[in-house]
Each structure stands twice: as C-alpha cells, then as structure tokens.
Structure 1
Amino acid sequence: MATYVLIPGADGRAWYWHRVVPMLRERGHAVIAVDLPSDNTAGLAEHVDAVIGAIGDKASAPGLVLVAQSLAGFIAPLVCERTPVEQLILVNPMIPAPGETAGEWWDNTGRAEAARAFAAEEGRDPNAGFDLVVDFFHDVPQDVTDEAMSAEASGPAEALFTEPWPLQTWPDVPTRLLQARDDRFFPLSFQRRVAAERLDGVPVEDLPGGHLVALSHPVELADLICRTEASP
C-alpha cells in the first residue's frame, strides 16, 4: 500500500483531486490531497511547509509518493529534500531548471510557441488569447466545470513566480512523468522535448485528457498513478 500525496497546480485547491482520491482509496491506498497557501506572498518555502504539514505523521510511513500537477513541479522536488519520498510522479508538469523562476520558465521553454503550433495542428486559431474553458476545461464534464466555476476565485501566489528554484540537481528520487495527450497548454511533443532536456532518461508516459486531467479522466489517471513502473 502506498500513501499518495496529491499536490494541486496553480489553483492550489485539494478539490482538484476530488475525482481521483476515491479511486486510489478503493485500491487500498492512503491519500492526502493538499490545499496550498492562498496568501499572495507565500513563496516556495511556504508551499513546501504546507505539503509537509499535510503529510504530518505519515512522513515516516513506507511508500510515500508525491503526485504533483503542473506548477507543483516547482514544489514537489523541494518536498523531497525535507522528507523521505519513495517516488515522485509529475502530472502535466512545469519542470524547473536550477536557478530558474516560474515566471522565467514560460519563455525559457518556448511554451507559447508550442501551444500555438498545437492549436494549428488541431485546426484552432493559433493566435487566439488564453481562454479558461477552451484551454483548460475543454474535456472536463459540464457538471464538474460548473462546480469549478462556482467556487471562490483562487490562484497561485505571485511570490511563486519570482523566486529562483533553489536546487542544483534533481532530487535522487525515482521520478515518473505523466502527460495528457490532449493538453492544449503543455502539448505532449513540448513536454517530451523539455523532459529530454531537463529530466535526462525519464520517459514520458501519456494518457488521454487535457491539462486538468484529474477532472476529465480520473480513471485513467488513477490507473497510471498506481502502476509500479513506467511504461516502456
């Protein structure tokens, strides 16, 4: 049995994982879904503290696995420096480089160009501005979308985007990268390139769904999370 610690992305709410949590528990695993700080001045240290606090006395439990969505790719590796972790699973992640801020990551990786190219491939307007529904919720069930939209507005702390990522190397923890094939924000081909550049030797395991894959394809995501080894 594993203990899965689910860290949300920019939205910061444990709610993001609410469709995946019961599926992992049905498989006999312990699950901790983390709420991240809502304070706009909370930086990387405060976000790591929030994850550590949520783990609590489970820190000494065997089989601790961090599952990090999107922006949490900047946070989860720092948690690995604070507590023993058996595995780190990145989902549609931002993969940081040493000394890079989350604000710099976008231009450094060429994400915008990749997203425009993917839009053109799909027959969408590559020059259209960001649209929350089109880019994030395009494959999320309507009732789940409605619930998300009715919640109080939340978002990442500005401080997260200005602090350099402090690690010089990726933590010595077995790492997997799960990427949704229909992610319009971080296209699959883009993630394969960035992973090759920044996570040498870590394969990209793909699954159906868009950027909010825990909301749109929770069954497939839970199945893939529970695999003990990366797909060939």
Structure 2
Amino acid sequence: MTRSGTIAERILETLRISGRPWDDDELAQRLGVAQRQTVNQICRRLAADGRLQRYTGGSGKLVNALWVPQPDARVAYAPATAELVLGDSIEVPPGSSVEQRAAEALMIASVARELGLKLTPRPIATQGGVRVEIDGVDDACTVLVEAWAHQGPPKSAQRHKVLADAFKLSWFASTLPVRPRLILCFSDEAAAKPFRSGRAWAAAALRDQRIEVFVAELPEQVRADILEAQRRQYR
C-alpha cells in the first residue's frame, strides 16, 4: 500500500471512530502529516470517490465527515476519546471542546427534525459584506439556530456567551428583508432555565427579541461525554 493510500485509510478511520467532522489542519496534526496540502488533496479525492463529504463547518472552514447532519435521519455519534485502530488513542487536550462540537451537531439535527427542515452550519454574508457564522440555517434562511452543548446551570461568563449568540441572531435577522425564526438550542433543561424563567431579565430580553429556547433530547452517553469535557476543562 502506498503512503498516500495509508493516509487515506487513516483519515477515514479517524472520521469513523471520532464521529465528528475534522478540518484538513486537524487531520494533518492528528496523523502527523507535515504537509497540510497532502491531506487536502487526499480528502478531495476521497470526496470525489464518494467516501467522505466536505462542507463548510461552523467555524467557516471546510471540514471532512462521513455524514452531514440531516433532519430525517438519526445522527451517528461516537465519543471523541474512543480508541483508534491506528494503535493509539485520541489524546484530548484539557481545553478541548470536541465532545461539545459533536453534541451540537446532534442538537441541530434535533431541531431540524422538529421543524421538518434541513439545517446545516454555514457562514452567511450580509449585504455589507460582514460574514456571520450560524450553527444551523436552512437553504431559504427562514430559520437560524445557535446551539450550546452544556450540562447543568451556566456560570456567569457562560451566560454572557449565550447572550452574545442571541445578540448575533437578533442583529443578523435585522439585516434580512424577512425576519427569520430565531432559536437558541440547549442540551439540558438546567442550562436553559436562566433563559426561560419569567423573572430573569435575560429570559425577558429573549422573549422581546422573539428568540425561542429549545432543549434537545440527547442520548445518555452524549450527555456523559459533555459532562466529562466540562470536568476536564475546569479542573
């Protein structure tokens, strides 16, 4: 087997085991490939052969995946720390958010199923040329969704992060000819509570801005992985 062929199989194995999209830079670093362009060329060839899919992820970069979240299908998921056949395990840095990113893909798919729409992450440019990255948007831009994978009550800084997402949705909606439906998606009732309570100013502000709060139902394993990521990030 050629080295290129070996890298191709390792790319596919990494995508299969991790259960999340990876961009070319991440794959090159993970596989120890010095030239990012080598990974880019192999991924493009795999996509042309129909063995993986390339699309614009939430960060605005092209990512590689074995699937793209669809509203009419149950999204596959595997813990980000699963062991690879490559002979070693994925080492997750303390600050890594790979579990949350994988969970947020499931959350967007949950909203899509609920609404009967196809929602995908992609950057959208305003008429003024400002690019905004949205976690989930339909082709007609009638629904915009931001997702936050977190278990338990949010801390003060985390509330500000959610409110920043809400502000982004509200501002971007104001630039469109027809206002879309705006949704903040949470992975846990406790995480969503401060933004639903009638006595909380944040909840009142979201209602006034017509931003809906949606809590996605996630498998227990996914919830456990999010909690483990939170423990790792804050220890």
TM-score interval w.r.t. the shorter chain? under 0.3
**TM-score normalised per structure 1:** 0.27
Which structure's relative contact order is higher, taking Cα pairs within 8 Å and 6+ residues apart? 1
